[in-house]
Amino acid sequence: MKIKEFIIVEGKDDTVAVQRAVEADTIETNGSALSPATLRKIKHAQEKRGVIIFTDPDYPGRRIRALIEQTVPQAKHAFLPKKQAIAKNGKGVGIEHASDEAIRQALQQVYTPNERPVVEEVTREDLLVAHLIAHPSAKHRRQRLGEILAIGDTNGKQLYKRLIMFEISAEQFGKALAQLNQEENNE
């Protein structure tokens, strides 16, 4: 599988894992030490071939993604579920720990941000009713919904933003929610 866009990763080990799974060029952010020079490089890469942000499914990875998104709002996004990025010894989370197949799957489900005027299909009220915010099980439900929709792990505010940014329709949201509820009923 060859990918045209540059893939933005956090470090050298992530580059090795991505290039083992797919044919692609990467740009490393060097962890959360995201310099202005690196942001300029990412912006230039977006102008030339496009970029896909593929950071670790943890707090530093979400922070890096948000910083890049501010500079390059039209960047594409790929998300790896946290459970697929945990080290075999259980002491680390990152792209470098994922299987080749998990990396390929995440890069096949890339989201492109919305460039048209935003039409809100899923409301905050929908998130509340679905127990995705302001509920004791909201965090767990958001995490699983993020896996189902391939939009990553989020807090309530980020979930709402990603649903809009990636144009998740009310129908897609409803199907994912039905799957989530079915899984919980089968537990």
Domain C-terminal end among 79, 108, 137: 108
Q: What is the pLDDT of residue 60?
A: 92
* Identity of residue 143: Q
Instruction: Examine the domain organization and report whether 25 and 103 are in the same domain.
Output: yes
Q: What is the pLDDT of residue 145?
A: 95
Q: Can you list the positions of beta strands (E) in the chain?
A: 6-9, 26-28, 51-53, 76-77
Q: Which residues form the domain of 55? A: 6-108
Q: How confident is the model at residue 13 (pLDDT cuts 50, 70, 90)?
A: very high
Residue 116 lies in a domain: no
Instruction: Examine the domain organization and report whether 33 and 102 are in the same domain.
Output: yes
Q: What is the pLDDT of residues 112-136, one digit of tens each?
A: 876 555 567 899 999 999 999 999 9
Query: In 10 A of CB 183, how many CB atoms?
Result: 11
Residue 163 lies in a domain: yes
Going from the C-alpha of 158 to that of each of 47, 67, 68, the distances in angstroms are 26, 14, 15
